[in-house]
Structure 1
Amino acid sequence: MIPSATSLERSDPLLPAIPSGKASPSPAVPSPELPPSADVVVVGAGLAGLACAKHLTDAGVDVTVVEASDGVGGRVRSDVVDGFRVDRGFQLINPAYPELHKVLDVAALGLQPFDAGVAVHRGGRVAAVRDPRRHPAGVVEALRFPLGGVKDKAAVARWVARVLSAGDLKGPDTGWAEALDEAGVHGDLRWSVIEPFLAGVLGEVDGTTSRRFVDLVVRSFLRETPGLPAGGVQAVPEALAAQLRPGSVVLGTEVRHLGLAPRSIVLETTAGGVNAQAVVVATDGGAAAHLVPRSAVPDAHALSAFWYVTPSSPAPASRERLLHLDGDRSGPVVNTAVVSAVAPSYVPAGDRRGLVAALLLGSDTSAGTEARVRAQLGRVYGAATSGWELIAVHDLPHALPVLEPPFDGPRPVEVGDGIFVTGDHRENPSQQGALVAGRRAADGVLNRLGMGRRRAG
């Protein structure tokens, strides 16, 4: 659930007409602020780059962060559209990620949590099920949940118990579909609940992502309830950037080439050249491969998202704070949420309208796809959608790095000559992975500069 781009500002004849000037992005920092030299230059102000810069700054290193776009966050960005806050893509902040607590004050984000469970539309009916450990009524809901028989529910319970335990991260790794087969998880519960839920988290429904990683992700969802920051998901990178030296983040500046000088690395940018003792490329995999061709980067899964303003909440109060799944899998949407019910801060004060987000696999944001999305959401929520206003469409071609088995641990961050490559593609496709990868890159740089006590992975 990680975004990379918005289609609000592009002219795509396949998209429904969206009036220009609605989105309010962060202002760009003038490119002349790029200094002629720095101890370390971090290319990219996403979570990994900002985390790396924070750790280096804390160690007393002179760091400059260069970002091509108009704001920090990389794929973790938010906009205000007609007073509504929309995250670029649909993504959540999971307080179970330990690295979050190491780099910022999670409580200060004002997380607005979802209810721990899902609402599933199947055959014209909607059934809700919540985690009974956090919702006492969840036991009754689970027993009455119409999907899956006793045997299927028992198999899921055993699978969940295994995931919550220490897990077998050293045994043979497989794709998560094969792991569910081995656990005896089949039938309606798998088809209508588990597979659609994991599709939205992993960016694929083929079951090809590493079981080891999926176990870790599911465990994090079971241990804590994800939520949305009061200021949108961009509050996370902004909190990281606030810990850096003022003026050290230069926006609106693209790095075009890295070259080696006798005692430094030379970066050619749209704002001129800058020399550094070390460079950390903290971009997505595609951009990293362009700047550092010798770095091996995985492919990425694409996602897309549609945001609607609705006359009111389309879900009853009893389940409007749940993630909604289409158990019939009757269209392109893998999950949807009434964001306004979970995060009132995303809606203008006093506005009683609803805000609904829908997440899809792939990057097809055509008018035909939007029509299918609207029809599917009407079935899921049991509501007429003709009056819903489409306010944002996000095309996310590099949303999540592919992580196929075997998942044997993080990839190296150092590629030689004082150049490092970091990002979730070096660790695992999650916010936790991006933050850890940033720390590992900082450790590597400190070692190279003779300032580090820890070894980089």
Structure 2
Amino acid sequence: MEKKIIIVGAGVAGLVAARHCEEAGFHPTIIDAEERVGGRVKTDQLEGFLLDRGFQVLLTEYQEVQRYLDIPALNLQRFQPGAVIFSAGRSFQFKDPLRDPRQLWSALVSPIGSLVDKFRVWRLAQKLKNTSPEKIFAQNSASTLIFLQKFGFSSRIIEQFFRPFFAGIFLENELSTPASMFRFVFKMFGQGYAAIPAKGMEEVCKQLKAALTKTTFRFNTRVSQILEDHLLTSSGERLDFDTIIVATASEALIPGLQGQKQAYHGTYNLYFSANFSPLQAPLIALVADADNPINSFCVPSDVSADYAPAGQTLVSVTLKANTMASPATVAAALVTLVKRPDLELTHLASYHIPQALPIVEALRYDIPSTQYALTDRIILAGDQLLNPSLDAAMRSGRSAANLLIW
């Protein structure tokens, strides 16, 4: 008789786990509290605009992305390498001559960092190019800030580029994230591209779901407790299983884990429609001024026209970590920042996401499959077990399913 397999969580890890269960001949059931797949990777539609829940990008160099996704079908739209830096009333482009040699002179004369800093950026990129992700995570690591300082970067380039750029990725301002995560992400940006699917980040999960043909989905079903051979839903329903893969926050569901609360970094992201693009390019803008509530912003409709109705512009603004501000305050700050009083911003939506990124103390690229098993019947999955990335979520889903299959 076929094993009864339940997967809790219809995010990336759960969907990848289901794929491997299907490949082994099983018919798993995925349960999720929300109304559709996606987990933390969702895109809402509002008045013809596409609003990702929190600013997110797909890094094309991720090994697991290349393994599981049909990249051409996603119709990825790339951000230009580099960034626009806003600092002390001025703005500059920080360009990447490694991708486009025509930008070499612009990069050299940019006021972001010294010539020595720019040489060190190149040297770090070359060093990481020849270092495997496994080795990056195996190295002992201090904080990102200490690593940057020890590598010899000046305080100017740290404050004007590294802090706002990686604060937007790590969702913390102090750059206290272990440097192994910084080196991994820096390597991914250096060797691939930051992109978004033309029709929103949720297309990633929609594609993973579309590949499943033997999986049953139960949406709008909240799990309240997971015991050794069955789970209980919030409505009191009992569902028996032979094996369960928990691809969501598990500490509140499994009695033995209660009290071991997973910590997260949160984010606050606002969307505005605008009468024109304040960037006029598919770039990420970073704000280095500590007294400005904005950490970064971009114009998704400059990257993919599908993010906004024809003739309209969508602006995405991410605030500094642990910062909240009203839409009016944010809009005024952005108008002042870009020095365009004729920029008209209409607030569309705000997303406060308290559990945007898991805080992982012991970062790892992967762990032995047996370490995903909580008991003989209960298996864990999710990026919180490895490192906070889409790549890790996919890898954990495969490893969890393989443990079940073996």
Cα separation, 2, equivalents of 1:45 and 1:388: 35
Cα separation, 1, equivalents of 2:143 and 2:271: 31
| Aligned pairs, number | 398
For residue 164 of structure 1, report the CA deviation from its aligned partner.
2.7
Name the structure 1 match of 2:355: 398
C-alpha change, 1:116 and 1:408, in structure 2 (3 Å) is: closer
C-alpha change, 1:422 and 1:405, in structure 2 (3 Å) is: closer
Query: Is the aligned partner of 1:198 residue 2:157?
Result: no
| Aligned-partner SS, 1:48 | helix
Cα separation, 2, equivalents of 1:120 and 1:429: 26
For residue 125 of structure 1, report the CA deviation from its aligned partner.
2.2
Cα separation, 1, equivalents of 2:94 and 2:112: 10
| Aligned-partner SS, 2:58 | coil
Kindly report which structure 2 residues correspond to 1:269-348, keeping only aligned pairs within 5 A, or say none: 269-270=234-235, 272-283=237-248, 285=249, 288-295=250-257, 298-315=262-279, 317=280, 320-348=281-309
- Cα deviation per residue 1:385-413 (whole Å; 9 max; x = unaligned)? 77311111111101111134665854832
For residue 65 of structure 1, report the CA deviation from its aligned partner.
0.1
Does structure 1 conserve the Cα–Cα contact (< 8 Å) formed by 2:79 and 2:282?
A: yes
C-alpha change, 1:211 and 1:111, in structure 2 (3 Å) is: same
Name the structure 2 match of 1:28: none
Gapped regions of structure 2 (runs ≥ 5): none
Name the structure 1 match of 2:180: 212
Gapped regions of structure 1 (runs ≥ 5): 1-36, 447-451, 453-457
**What code does the residue aligned with 2:160 have?**
S
**Mean alpha-carbon deviation: is it higher for 187-196 or for 146-155?**
146-155
Query: Is the aligned partner of 1:353 residue 2:312?
Result: yes
Name the structure 1 match of 2:50: 85
Cα separation, 2, equivalents of 1:76 and 1:336: 19
Q: Identify which of 379, 382, 399 aligns with 2:336.
A: 379
C-alpha change, 1:407 and 1:116, in structure 2 (3 Å) is: same
For residue 269 of structure 1, report the CA deviation from its aligned partner.
4.8
Does structure 2 conserve the Cα–Cα contact (< 8 Å) formed by 1:375 and 1:385?
A: no
Name the structure 1 match of 2:191: 223
For residue 418 of structure 1, report the CA deviation from its aligned partner.
0.5
Kindly report which structure 2 residues correspond to 1:153-172, keeping only aligned pairs within 5 A, or say none: 153-166=118-131, 169=136, 170-172=138-140
Cα separation, 2, equivalents of 1:161 and 1:77: 34
Cα separation, 1, equivalents of 2:197 and 2:363: 34
Query: Is the aligned partner of 1:182 residue 2:141?
Result: no
Does structure 2 conserve the Cα–Cα contact (< 8 Å) formed by 1:265 and 1:278?
A: no
How high is the TM-score relative to the length of structure 1? 0.82
C-alpha change, 1:294 and 1:384, in structure 2 (3 Å) is: farther
For residue 443 of structure 1, report the CA deviation from its aligned partner.
1.1
**What code does the residue aligned with 2:293 have?**
P
Cα separation, 2, equivalents of 1:406 and 1:81: 37
Name the structure 2 match of 1:248: 216
Cα separation, 1, equivalents of 2:225 and 2:61: 38
| Aligned-partner SS, 1:194 | helix
**What code does the residue aligned with 1:415 have?**
L
Report the aligned-residue RMSD: 2.2
Name the structure 2 match of 1:433: 392
**What code does the residue aligned with 1:294 have?**
G
Does structure 2 conserve the Cα–Cα contact (< 8 Å) formed by 1:297 and 1:425?
A: no
Kindly report which structure 2 residues correspond to 1:65-84, keeping only aligned pairs within 5 A, or say none: 65-84=30-49
| Aligned-partner SS, 2:25 | coil
How high is the TM-score relative to the length of structure 2? 0.92
- Cα deviation per residue 1:152-183 (whole Å; 9 max; x = unaligned)? 33333333333333176344321111111110
C-alpha change, 1:406 and 1:220, in structure 2 (3 Å) is: closer
Does structure 1 conserve the Cα–Cα contact (< 8 Å) formed by 2:171 and 2:267?
A: yes
Name the structure 1 match of 2:29: 64
**What code does the residue aligned with 2:151 have?**
A
C-alpha change, 1:145 and 1:364, in structure 2 (3 Å) is: closer
Name the structure 2 match of 1:265: 230
Name the structure 2 match of 1:16: none
| Aligned-partner SS, 1:290 | coil
Does structure 2 conserve the Cα–Cα contact (< 8 Å) formed by 1:96 and 1:224?
A: yes
Does structure 2 conserve the Cα–Cα contact (< 8 Å) formed by 1:310 and 1:387?
A: yes
C-alpha change, 1:364 and 1:182, in structure 2 (3 Å) is: closer
State, as a whole percentage, how many aligned pairs show the same letter. 28
Name the structure 1 match of 2:380: 421
Kindly report which structure 2 residues correspond to 1:17-56, keeping only aligned pairs within 5 A, or say none: 39-56=4-21
Does structure 2 conserve the Cα–Cα contact (< 8 Å) formed by 1:41 and 1:278?
A: yes
Does structure 2 conserve the Cα–Cα contact (< 8 Å) formed by 1:423 and 1:438?
A: yes
For residue 201 of structure 1, report the CA deviation from its aligned partner.
0.9
Cα separation, 2, equivalents of 1:410 and 1:433: 11
Does structure 1 conserve the Cα–Cα contact (< 8 Å) formed by 2:85 and 2:91?
A: yes
For residue 105 of structure 1, report the CA deviation from its aligned partner.
0.8
Name the structure 2 match of 1:232: 200
For residue 354 of structure 1, report the CA deviation from its aligned partner.
1.2
**What code does the residue aligned with 2:380 have?**
V
Does structure 1 conserve the Cα–Cα contact (< 8 Å) formed by 2:365 and 2:386?
A: no
For residue 293 of structure 1, report the CA deviation from its aligned partner.
4.2
**What code does the residue aligned with 2:60 have?**
P
- Cα deviation per residue 1:199-246 (whole Å; 9 max; x = unaligned)? 111111212211112111110011111111012111011111112236
